[in-house]
A and B are shown apart, each in its own frame.
Chain A
């Protein structure tokens, strides 16, 4: 088999595990502003990158990571190169702010068409900010290629993609001819550790920049999310701590308390 080309779409998001009060909601501007938490690669997109790197471990593979946004933090996205991607393409333009899922998918598809030859496109199953989970499937529709969602394992054998995809009661093993798009779930495993040396070496890897003009996009066709309401949500409860001389006693006291408060 010749060298495979895998494209991984990675989105920059505010760290989804940041504390609740770090997400400042401006109900007037309809914007969420993260305060004091760093941007990260969306967790499921990291899983997608890991899936690509595992394939790279078995086949001669070029991995291209591609990210789109109004503002992109290069050091954050360069982590993809440090982890093992061969090339990073940044699609950055003021017109890419707040795009809806379809426009996001069409910008990414334009860039992917420009890249030309590819065998596999990987995305996370959903993004860590808006949690829509539709961009990957839309890219496949636009490019007219098969799509498989929520993968827990992705392998290439005999020029075909074999995927274990999650189902409600377990999983299904499916196969498809390449090129194909696969959305990846966390069951694949976390993105491998990147050393400081790898981060330094990543600086030498190629990075390309495209804006809307480079991609020859029709700006009139880019549409934004229509948000009309936004508010912060806190599910805070008052926690009663069960005391005791020892851990065993705390366990016993919990049972007694459950009985007393009518839980059991």
Chain B
């Protein structure tokens, strides 16, 4: 299932296509994509460069994500085309959609996978995902088709070049608007951030305490802008729960999993919930007053000291260099 972002396609779409292509090849199948939305001819055409068939589910009532309608539309598509495997991106919306579709299809869904493979002897789907806060990696076997899995963003390589000319097929599901039981009252956009695209991220945690402390962290973000194309402010859960930083900036198991060149953790103790999200960073720098903070176990560089003193000095020096 393709993921749209604004007028175009989200990067996870190409990762799903990459994974799908491999699975299709290993099971002598073809690769199909489904696009749901309204006025989606452009994105459907774009995906046709990578997939054998693109099913375009174009309907005014599918313009916005509504889990009840999306699940029903996808169920109808699955009944019609009988896929062996159904892949989706692991997102907040799909955490709502995937179980509904799995229930309708009478199958299991394995969420947040980082790797998928076909078991050669049986043709079953093997789904690998981090469990126990990423302390353990587990591989689950799906035996009943359609195999369903959601894929963690940035876990696999996107589909490579080698454009083909797939066919765009219009599929018109029956949409029953009365199935929608949850009514949207208001959409509040706090801030649109793409932590996953940042070259450097500075995150604050419990140790930051207040807005004043956060200002120094923001200053570091600003200064690093001299050296990196895209620098973003991140946060661990306590700052988000305290509403000092919006949820979209949360890094961790239930926030974004990030892969910047440099990740600086300021006043973050290093709970598993958080470090799970940063293990993909190339270099991790931790600044913390507590020498025993677990964040130092996963960091490449550590500074033991109060951030109120360390960070301003770091900022000054970074501006001088």
Binds A, one of B16-24, B27-35, B185-193, B205-213: B185-193
Contacts of B134 in A (CB 8 A): 233, 235
The reply to whether the CB of A149 lies closer than 8 angstroms to some CB of chain B is: yes
Contact between chains at A175 and B185 (CB < 8 Å): yes
Contacts of A142 in B (CB 8 A): 103
CB distance from B259 to the nearest CB of A (A): 13
- Alpha-carbon separation in the docked complex, A14 to B136 (Å): 13
Contact between chains at B227 and A229 (CB < 8 Å): no
The reply to whether the CB of A12 lies closer than 8 angstroms to some CB of chain B is: no
The reply to whether the CB of B138 lies closer than 8 angstroms to some CB of chain A is: yes
The reply to whether the CB of A173 lies closer than 8 angstroms to some CB of chain B is: yes
Given contacts A134-B109, A169-B192, A232-B135, contact A149 B95 (CB under 8 A): yes
The reply to whether the CB of A3 lies closer than 8 angstroms to some CB of chain B is: no
In the complex, what residue of chain B is closest to A249 when comparing beta carbons? B313
- Alpha-carbon separation in the docked complex, A257 to B302 (Å): 11
Task: Point out the residue from B131, B133, B189, B241 that lies within 8 Å of A169, measured CB to CB.
Answer: B189
Most buried by B among A171, A247, A257: A247
Task: Point out the residue from A129, A168, A186, A241 that lies within 8 Å of B131, measured CB to CB.
Answer: A129
Contact between chains at B182 and A233 (CB < 8 Å): no
Instruction: Classify chain B's interface size.
Output: 35 or more
Number of residues in A with C-beta < 8 Å to the partner? 82
Contact between chains at B313 and A251 (CB < 8 Å): yes
The reply to whether the CB of A255 lies closer than 8 angstroms to some CB of chain B is: yes
Contact between chains at A230 and B254 (CB < 8 Å): no
Most buried by A among B110, B142, B305, B311: B305
Most buried by B among A32, A125, A169, A229: A169
Contacts of B284 in A (CB 8 A): 237
- Alpha-carbon separation in the docked complex, A17 to B252 (Å): 13
- Alpha-carbon separation in the docked complex, A131 to B111 (Å): 8
A126-147: CB near B (< 8 Å → 1, else 0) gives 1011111110011001100011
Given contacts A138-B103, A227-B138, A251-B310, contact A166 B92 (CB under 8 A): yes
Given contacts A125-B254, A252-B316, contact A131 B130 (CB under 8 A): yes
A19-B294, A100-B108 known; 19 other A-B pairs, CB under 8 Å?
Answer: A126-B95, A130-B131, A131-B131, A134-B109, A169-B193, A170-B248, A171-B190, A176-B183, A186-B237, A226-B140, A228-B126, A229-B128, A229-B139, A235-B134, A241-B302, A251-B312, A252-B314, A254-B287, A258-B285
Provide a sorted-by-A list of 8 A–B residue pairs whose CB atoms are within 8 angstroms.
Answer: A126-B95, A131-B129, A228-B141, A229-B126, A235-B298, A239-B299, A251-B317, A263-B283
